[in-house]
């Protein structure tokens, strides 16, 4: 009997232990000082920003400060007297300027310009707590490094750095400085390209090796208080900057190991991570997940600010600096949408911890554009909490079918999302089943205010109703020499041209090749409710003719999970490099256009809409609709206004906006991309070491007009049904690799697709 009672008790204990163990062990109080925290969720890639602590009060609210526009920020620091000082450089005049804020970032005044640095091109910079600024620069020509010490209103003091000849794998890289930082006591550290960290004597420029991080490939350092962080893609090494001792911090190390991008510094434009010192052993850090406090050596981090509720969550944002003003105020300098801003986060105890209105947004795949829109919307609607669910986060092996099944279960249970991003989802079926609401009035309102590419918009209007509408689209181009451009009119002509010229289409894997060519031909694959056998057969035959595997077999180019991956693959650089004789791919940004223009200028190349003789197709991107069961129709419409609108649409990349005003703003940007004088050169290299320098220029009116003409010409959406695409890809790959014949592949495709269509 005793045994039975003991067993029963044990079972109860185990059951409760299991239930209690469901929480995230890495989230919780950091210990030490109590900080005002908001939503308890840390967010994750599958269900971003899902807050667990609903119902409570108190949240950090974001506010954009009045920091001057068009400034590049090198350093931001809270000085001993409480003033916040920023060292920046005007993007227009190139002048270095100090800006001070005596009211916690609410207003900024110039503390003085620094002259005499017209020949100084810094790699990095920092501001110390006593208010001095330092910029470091590498002179590549004579392999030396120099720093300049700046004080407001004073002449810059230039000091050559004396870097000791320590043991290094590539000694010449010791003088290539990639990062620098001050610690709380004013000690100055630099890091070289080959991951050696030096402490610098500011008066003499003498450098003393602090640490050799070559094995970890560190390319960035950050300092919080007196903790120096050597950041890399594989982890983080933390040193006491005073005595050089290293401390272990498994939590932060795991954070960097799991998110390698956090350790990478994007030259000139910040990083995905910024640090600030707190009290004693506590540090603050900001990532796209939000702002956290952590005790060095501890095993947890407490989330103070949920990134999903503000700009932090925008994956396009890069952080320069984080400054803790006090427990309830933080400043973060970020680079976002081609401009640098300083954001202030202030704790508001009267705001609800999580906004009371929750807007559920669902997308099968993650995308930078959606994140940008979400962040923009969140900033403008702080009373709404956007809960983004990504069906296939890429972390958990969930397939598209698994994700759709889960979504459908939610819809049937009445818990469907308010906004659906329909890319990859069975849109036609959802329309038929009444899952989507008619958004024709919203589209009409935006048509009247901004206008649309009507060739694209028309494809989504049926009998006066609109259930899904694309925010962006891109087109497939084919080009090269005049003959190649003419051949791009159809896949057959492309294959004829490649064979006649004795060149190749380019070496890519069977899957990648089919992914590139599918949007060119797929618009004609469906005839009514049946697959067109001839078109499928021609597609596979011509693709097979264009397929050239490498001697090592297939090298696939697009294997990741991001939906943005295939956007912007057109480029004639490969022709100039001798890697191919014709280019075919998508053009999806002004950056793509100017790069292509630079390459075309060298070879006298041209381009046209790929496959235009078969069908003039475009690829819709970020098709969005509103769930018919939504209780937040107004919020959902506002979200779509942001998604289809001018502000987000005019951000370059991820396709061209269907919104005409946004497109015009984008063209304006393209024509002034490099200012009037600053037109950079770009060097590109091929796999065999051939390199090529391209001179980038602003887009011209002619180039814009040509692009616009092509975008207006495309009037048929490429086939976006994922089931059909997957079946064609599966058998197409086998046919291209020679595992099965083309006829056999066509037969299998027809059988399966027609079965699908018959359902």
**Contact flag: residue 743 with other proteins (CB under 8 A):** no
Residue closer to other proteins (CB basis): 425 or 520: 425
Q: How far is the CB of 366 from other proteins (least distance, A)?
A: 21
**Contact flag: residue 217 with other proteins (CB under 8 A):** no
Residue closer to other proteins (CB basis): 102 or 406: 406
Q: How far is the CB of 755 from other proteins (least distance, A)?
A: 6
Rounded-to-integer distance, Cα 294 and Cα 30, Å? 5
- Among residues 469, 740, 742, 746, which is the contact residue for other proteins, using CB under 8 A? 740
**Contact flag: residue 462 with other proteins (CB under 8 A):** no
Q: How far is the CB of 410 from other proteins (least distance, A)?
A: 11
| Residues 6 or more apart in contact with residue 486 via CB below 8 angstroms | 493, 608
Q: Pick the closest to residue 404 from 386, 427, 388, 387 (CA basis).
A: 427
**Contact flag: residue 119 with other proteins (CB under 8 A):** no
**Contact flag: residue 121 with other proteins (CB under 8 A):** no
**Contact flag: residue 458 with other proteins (CB under 8 A):** no
- Among residues 143, 215, 248, 401, which is the contact residue for other proteins, using CB under 8 A? 401
- Among residues 1, 17, 109, 758, which is the contact residue for other proteins, using CB under 8 A? 758
- Among residues 435, 517, 714, 718, which is the contact residue for other proteins, using CB under 8 A? 435
Q: How far is the CB of 404 from other proteins (least distance, A)?
A: 5
Q: How far is the CB of 433 from other proteins (least distance, A)?
A: 4
**Contact flag: residue 292 with other proteins (CB under 8 A):** no
**Contact flag: residue 501 with other proteins (CB under 8 A):** no
Q: How far is the CB of 432 from other proteins (least distance, A)?
A: 7
**Contact flag: residue 405 with other proteins (CB under 8 A):** yes
**Contact flag: residue 412 with other proteins (CB under 8 A):** yes
Is 476 in a helix, a strand, or coil? strand
Q: For residues 99 and 67, is the Cβ–Cβ distance under 8 A?
A: yes
Q: What crossing angle do the helices spanning 440-449 and 633-644 adopt, rounded to 10°? A: 40
346-356 in b/e form (b: 16+ CB < 10 A) is: bbbeebbbbbe
Rounded-to-integer distance, Cα 187 and Cα 198, Å? 11
- Among residues 178, 317, 411, 457, which is the contact residue for other proteins, using CB under 8 A? 411
**Contact flag: residue 16 with other proteins (CB under 8 A):** no
Q: Please give the structure tokens belonging to residue 233.
A: 């893609």
Residue closer to other proteins (CB basis): 121 or 756: 756
Rounded-to-integer distance, Cα 273 and Cα 271, Å? 5
Q: Pick the closest to residue 353 from 680, 55, 129, 736 (CA basis).
A: 55
Q: How far is the CB of 426 from other proteins (least distance, A)?
A: 5
β-pairing, 84-90 vs 96-101, is: antiparallel
**Contact flag: residue 465 with other proteins (CB under 8 A):** no
Binding segment for other proteins (CB under 8 A), chosen from 15-23, 26-34, 424-432, 708-716, is 424-432
Residue closer to other proteins (CB basis): 8 or 755: 755
Residue closer to other proteins (CB basis): 540 or 643: 540
Q: Pick the closest to residue 679 from 699, 666, 702, 695 (CA basis).
A: 695
**Contact flag: residue 106 with other proteins (CB under 8 A):** no
User: What is the secondary structure of 518-569 as a DSSP string?
Assistant: HHHHGGGSEETTEE-HHHHHHHHHHHHHH---BTTB---S--SS-GGGGSS-
Binding mask 674-713 for other proteins (x = CB under 8 A): ----------------------------------------
Q: For residues 296 and 289, is the Cβ–Cβ distance under 8 A?
A: no
Q: How far is the CB of 737 from other proteins (least distance, A)?
A: 10
Q: Which region holds residue 125: left if phi is over 0, alpha if psi is between -120 and 50, else beta?
A: beta
- Among residues 63, 408, 455, 602, which is the contact residue for other proteins, using CB under 8 A? 408
User: What is the secondary structure of 295-340 as a DSSP string?
Assistant: ETT-S-EEEEEEGGGSGGG-TT-EEEEEEEEETTEEEEEEEETTEE
**CB half-sphere exposure, 429, CA atoms < 13 A:** 11
Q: Pick the closest to residue 439 from 623, 656, 620 (CA basis).
A: 623
Residue closer to other proteins (CB basis): 404 or 557: 404
DSSP bridge pairs for 27: 301
β-pairing, 469-480 vs 419-421, is: unpaired
721-757 in b/e form (b: 16+ CB < 10 A) is: bbebbebbbbbbbbbbbeeeebeebbebbbebbeeee
Q: How far is the CB of 752 from other proteins (least distance, A)?
A: 4
**Contact flag: residue 629 with other proteins (CB under 8 A):** no
- Among residues 116, 434, 578, 603, which is the contact residue for other proteins, using CB under 8 A? 434
**Contact flag: residue 739 with other proteins (CB under 8 A):** yes
Residues touching other proteins: how many (CB under 8 A)?
Answer: 27
Q: What is the DSSP letter of 453?
A: -
**Contact flag: residue 140 with other proteins (CB under 8 A):** no
- Among residues 266, 429, 693, 700, which is the contact residue for other proteins, using CB under 8 A? 429
Binding segment for other proteins (CB under 8 A), chosen from 331-339, 407-415, 459-467, 550-558, is 407-415
Q: Which residue is listed with tokens 């002259």?
A: 115
Distances (CA, A) of 581 to 19, 79, 482, 572, 710: 62, 59, 11, 9, 22
In terms of Cβ atoms closer than 10 Å to its own Cβ (0-12, 13-18, 19+), residue 758 is exposed
**Contact flag: residue 430 with other proteins (CB under 8 A):** yes
Q: How far is the CB of 744 from other proteins (least distance, A)?
A: 7
Residue closer to other proteins (CB basis): 435 or 658: 435
Rounded-to-integer distance, Cα 505 and Cα 494, Å? 9
**Contact flag: residue 756 with other proteins (CB under 8 A):** yes
**Contact flag: residue 612 with other proteins (CB under 8 A):** no
DSSP bridge pairs for 478: 584, 608
**Contact flag: residue 755 with other proteins (CB under 8 A):** yes
Q: Which residue is listed with tokens 């050239």?
A: 548
**Contact flag: residue 338 with other proteins (CB under 8 A):** no
Q: How far is the CB of 730 from other proteins (least distance, A)?
A: 8
Rounded-to-integer distance, Cα 490 and Cα 507, Å? 20
- Among residues 31, 394, 426, 549, which is the contact residue for other proteins, using CB under 8 A? 426
Rounded-to-integer distance, Cα 210 and Cα 201, Å? 12
**Contact flag: residue 744 with other proteins (CB under 8 A):** yes
Is 110 in a helix, a strand, or coil? strand
Binding segment for other proteins (CB under 8 A), chosen from 475-483, 581-589, 616-624, 739-747, is 739-747
Binding segment for other proteins (CB under 8 A), chosen from 191-199, 399-407, 482-490, 703-711, is 399-407
Binding segment for other proteins (CB under 8 A), chosen from 397-405, 546-554, 568-576, 584-592, is 397-405
**Contact flag: residue 511 with other proteins (CB under 8 A):** no
Q: How far is the CB of 723 from other proteins (least distance, A)?
A: 7
Is 233 in a helix, a strand, or coil? coil
Is 411 in a helix, a strand, or coil? helix
Residue closer to other proteins (CB basis): 20 or 758: 758
Binding segment for other proteins (CB under 8 A), chosen from 7-15, 107-115, 432-440, 498-506, is 432-440
**Contact flag: residue 432 with other proteins (CB under 8 A):** yes
Residue closer to other proteins (CB basis): 25 or 464: 464
How wide is the angle at C-alpha 33 spanned by C-alphas 29 and 39, nearest 5°?
Answer: 45
Which stretches of the chain bind other proteins, using CB under 8 A?
401, 404-405, 408, 411-412, 426, 429-430, 432-435, 723, 727, 734, 739-740, 744, 748, 751-753, 755-756, 758-759
């Amino acid at each position: 009997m005793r045994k039975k009672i003991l067993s029963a008790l044990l079972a109860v204990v185990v059951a409760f232990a299991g239930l209690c163990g469901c929480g995230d062990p890495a989230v919780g109080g950091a210990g030490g000082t109590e900080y005002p925290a908001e939503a308890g969720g840390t967010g994750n890639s599958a269900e971003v920003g899902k807050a667990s602590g609903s119902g409570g009060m108190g949240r950090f609210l974001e506010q954009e400060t009045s920091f001057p526009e068009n400034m590049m920020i090198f350093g931001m620091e809270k000085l001993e007297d409480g003033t916040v000082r920023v060292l920046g450089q005007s993007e227009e005049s190139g002048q270095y300027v100090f800006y001070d804020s005596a009211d916690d970032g609410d207003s900024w005044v110039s503390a003085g310009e620094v002259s005499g640095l017209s020949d100084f091109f810094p790699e990095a910079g920092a501001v110390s707590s006593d208010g001095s600024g330092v910029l470091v620069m590498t002179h590549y020509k004579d392999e030396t490094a120099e720093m300049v010490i700046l004080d407001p209103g004073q002449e810059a003091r230039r000091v050559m750095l004396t870097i000791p000849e320590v043991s290094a794998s590539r000694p010449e890289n010791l003088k290539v400085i990639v990062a620098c930082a001050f610690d709380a006591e004013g000690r100055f550290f630099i890091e070289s390209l080959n991951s050696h960290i030096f402490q610098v004597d500011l008066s003499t420029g003498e450098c003393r090796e602090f640490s050799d991080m070559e094995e970890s490939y560190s390319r960035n350092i950050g300092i919080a208080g007196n903790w120096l962080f050597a950041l890399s893609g594989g982890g983080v090494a933390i040193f006491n900057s005073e005595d050089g001792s290293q401390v272990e911090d498994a939590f932060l190390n795991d954070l960097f190991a799991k998110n390698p991008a956090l350790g990478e510094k994007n030259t000139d434009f910040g990083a995905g991570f910024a640090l600030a010192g707190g009290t004693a052993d506590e540090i603050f850090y900001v990532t796209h997940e939000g702002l956290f406090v952590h005790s060095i050596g501890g095993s947890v981090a407490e989330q103070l600010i949920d990134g999903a509720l503000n700009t932090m969550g925008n994956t396009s944002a890069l952080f320069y600096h984080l400054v803790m003003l006090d427990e309830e105020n933080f400043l973060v300098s970020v680079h976002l949408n081609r401009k640098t801003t300083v954001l202030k986060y202030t704790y508001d105890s009267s705001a609800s911890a999580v906004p009371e209105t929750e807007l559920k947004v669902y997308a099968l795949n993650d995308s930078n554009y959606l994140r940008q829109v979400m962040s923009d919307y969140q900033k403008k609607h702080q009373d709404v909490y956007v809960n983004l669910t990504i069906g296939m986060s890429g972390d958990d092996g969930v397939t598209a079918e698994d994700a759709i099944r889960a979504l459908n279960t939610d819809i049937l249970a009445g818990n469907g999302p308010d906004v659906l991003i329909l890319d990859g989802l069975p849109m036609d079926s959802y329309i038929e089943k009444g899952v989507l609401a008619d958004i024709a009035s919203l589209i009409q309102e935006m048509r009247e205010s901004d206008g649309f590419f009507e060739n694209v918009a028309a494809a989504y209007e049926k009998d006066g109703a609109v259930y899904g509408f694309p925010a962006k689209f891109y087109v497939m181009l084919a080009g090269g020499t005049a003959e190649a451009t003419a051949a791009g009119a159809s896949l057959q002509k492309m294959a004829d041209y490649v064979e006649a010229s004795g060149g190749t289409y380019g070496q890519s894997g069977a899957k990648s090749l089919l992914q590139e060519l599918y949007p060119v031909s797929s618009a004609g694959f469906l005839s009514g409710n049946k697959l067109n056998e001839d078109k499928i057969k021609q597609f596979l035959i011509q693709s097979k003719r264009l397929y050239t595997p490498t001697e090592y077999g297939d090298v696939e180019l697009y294997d990741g999970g991001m939906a943005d991956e295939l956007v912007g693959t057109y480029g004639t650089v490969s022709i100039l490099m001798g890697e191919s004789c014709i280019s075919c791919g998508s053009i999806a940004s002004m950056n793509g256009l100017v790069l292509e223009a630079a390459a075309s200028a060298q070879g006298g190349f041209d381009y046209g809409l790929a496959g235009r003789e078969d069908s003039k197709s475009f690829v819709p991107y970020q098709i969005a609709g509103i769930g018919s069961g939504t209780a937040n129709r107004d919020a959902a419409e506002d979200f779509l206004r942001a998604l289809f609108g001018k502000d987000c649409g005019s951000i370059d990349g991820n396709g061209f906006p269907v919104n005409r005003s946004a497109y015009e703003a984008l063209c304006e940007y393209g024509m002034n991309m490099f200012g009037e004088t600053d037109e950079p050169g770009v060097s590109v290299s091929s796999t065999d070491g051939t390199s090529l320098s391209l001179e980038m220029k602003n887009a011209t009116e002619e180039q814009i007009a040509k692009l616009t003409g092509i975008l207006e010409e495309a009037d048929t959406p490429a086939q976006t049904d994922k089931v059909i695409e997957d079946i064609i890809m599966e058998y197409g790959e086998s046919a291209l690799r020679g595992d099965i014949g083309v006829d056999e592949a066509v037969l299998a495709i027809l059988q399966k697709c027609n079965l699908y269509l018959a359902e």
